[in-house]
Structure 1
């Protein structure tokens, strides 16, 4: 028995380590800023801080080369501006070959085909390209024998919901349903997760009656009782609203990966270094507890914090420029533990 016990023990230990790593908190790596470190220095910064997951917003070859052999798991985006070209199968196959197959030592996890495409905003011009591009990228991965290893999805966001309160009533806007329902069907058929950008900060900043403590995970006790489901933080409520919305369209068993969440340290209501640090620390702690949400208890939620650095060249509200966990000189803005 002793000779058989050690291999079984090691197998269980390896499985445990893989499971633990697969559910750790990652960090998005945006590059719309001045004076940022080199791509290799950034990858080294991930490694020094025990950050095992990354999201990048386009196939930056220098980043992909730096990731080689690191085992950092990657979400790689197809930028919105590239979606139309990938509705051509030949172009999609070339994209997969150039950015995935040619980097066999990079641990790709998901391909996010488009980010926050929405029939109701400036991204509506991309709506008709998302699903065809997803299908073509999926076929290219399948042809390369990678479809079981790398999952194809798209990054949605709370702006697609017309109802988010109470969480169990979450629903996609009527003019969004025709866009999102076929995507949900595709994800279910291919056993891929939905990616969702979930920001309690924007809900707090844009809604007068949301208490800061509810958004920062610091509320004492239940804030919202949704027919027996008790919510003490806004993140869980927003997550469950997304889940309810997709469930109405056939996605009840579809996993949601939080592809972005964060809190700015300046530029708008509630955007302070203290509040941002509180949010990030409590978010990491919440994910480590693996308690799930009231609608989906006991589940691990794979989550990516936004973002690695402040990005001073981002457009939009001033707060958009202040989501970084690190300054460009690689010094941490907050004391966070990813291990």
Structure 2
């Protein structure tokens, strides 16, 4: 199982598919590993106008999906953390049209039942997330997310969400470390009878609550990224904390969340390798392995 992101050139009229999740068959809870944000050994990046050209979307699917018959693609995500609120805001107008064109290309290739088209969002698009049942999308992103939600509902595709308890605790020192690392000895948040012992579940269920309020109650969430840095920003970012978080995440996803306890969670750990060329410093240290392929700590997917 693998999650690979490709950074492609993007112009004002171009939005490229920059996240492909290629997986084996999923049965129940599964945890994959993201290669990182610069994939190797995959199709070369090309500047293709997908958002406004069905022909180019068809060609992209042919070149990057159909030509790789030995890879079982599960999802194609159009955009990673594109948002009206961050540095990717200039791409917001192109996401939904690119999703539609890729969906048409996938359906035309007879792959509509095998590959789901989506996009990956960050939890910063939500607000009022405490308790999780209050979660909703911020008013100033509804114009962006609402058409995406309608598209996903119509095509029975999941929403991909990058969930990072590390960044939540780094930005809010009132959060207890054991709550973020899945090691809390007891219930931390009781939300109308739903008991939360970890921050991951709280962030996930707050996003489910936001989806419900925006007409997406039928949607599933796939956690397209989660992880913990092993260095780069003081005591929070340690080998011990990274090992604890990632191993506990793997064990945890088998049981679902308080809001959806009977549904195991599909999640991908970010990332396979440290990315030494990235900045800021914290972004270099999410890998399970060093760039020379040495494991940083023990991890079990059993």
Give distance in 2, aligned partners of 1:220 and 1:213. Answer: 8
Of 169-178 and 328-337, more deviation after overlay is shown by 328-337
* 8 Å contact kept, 2:223–2:268: yes
Matches within 5 A, 1:269-280: 269=234, 270-280=236-246
Which position in structure 2 is the counterpart of 1:76? none
CA contact (8 A) 1:84 1:126 kept: no
Partner of residue 309 from structure 1, selected from 263, 273, 298? 273
Choose between structure 1 and 2: higher helix proportion.
Answer: 1
CA distance in 1, matches of 2:26, 2:53: 36
Q: How far 1:82 sits from its partner (Å)? A: 6.0
Q: 1:30 aligns with which of 24, 33, 36?
A: 36
Residue aligning to 2:72:
107
Q: Give 5+ residue unaligned stretches, structure 2.
A: 1-23
Whole-Å separation in 2 of the counterparts to 1:160 and 1:138: 24
Deviations 1:233-288 (A, max 9, x none): 0000000011000111111110000000000001114000011100011111112x
The answer for the alignment partner of 1:42 in structure 2 is none
Offset at 1:83? 8.1
The CA RMSD measured in Å over matched residues stands at 1.9
Is this contact kept in 2: 1:134–1:152, CA < 8 A? yes
**Larger displacement relative to structure 2 (326-335 or 145-154):** 326-335
Please tell me whether the aligned partners of residues 275 and 291 of structure 2 are also in contact (alpha carbons under 8 angstroms): no
Structure 1 position 226, deviation (Å): 1.2
Q: How many residues get paired?
A: 278
Residue of structure 2 in register with 1:282 after alignment: 248
- Give me the TM-score of the superposition, normalised by structure 1: 0.78
Q: 2:138 matched to which residue of 1? A: 173
Change (3 A) 1:232 1:242: same
Alignment gaps of 5+ in structure 1: 1-16, 33-55, 66-78
* Corresponding residue for residue 193 of structure 1: 158
Change (3 A) 1:18 1:321: closer
Q: Structure 2 vs 1, CA of residues 194 and 205 (structure 1 numbering), >3 Å: closer, same or farther?
A: same
Query: Which of the pair has more CA radius of gyration?
Result: 1
Deviations 1:157-180 (A, max 9, x none): 111112221100111110101110
Query: Retained in 2: the 8 A contact 1:213–1:219?
Result: yes
The equivalences for 1:318-337 within 5 A come to 318-337=281-300
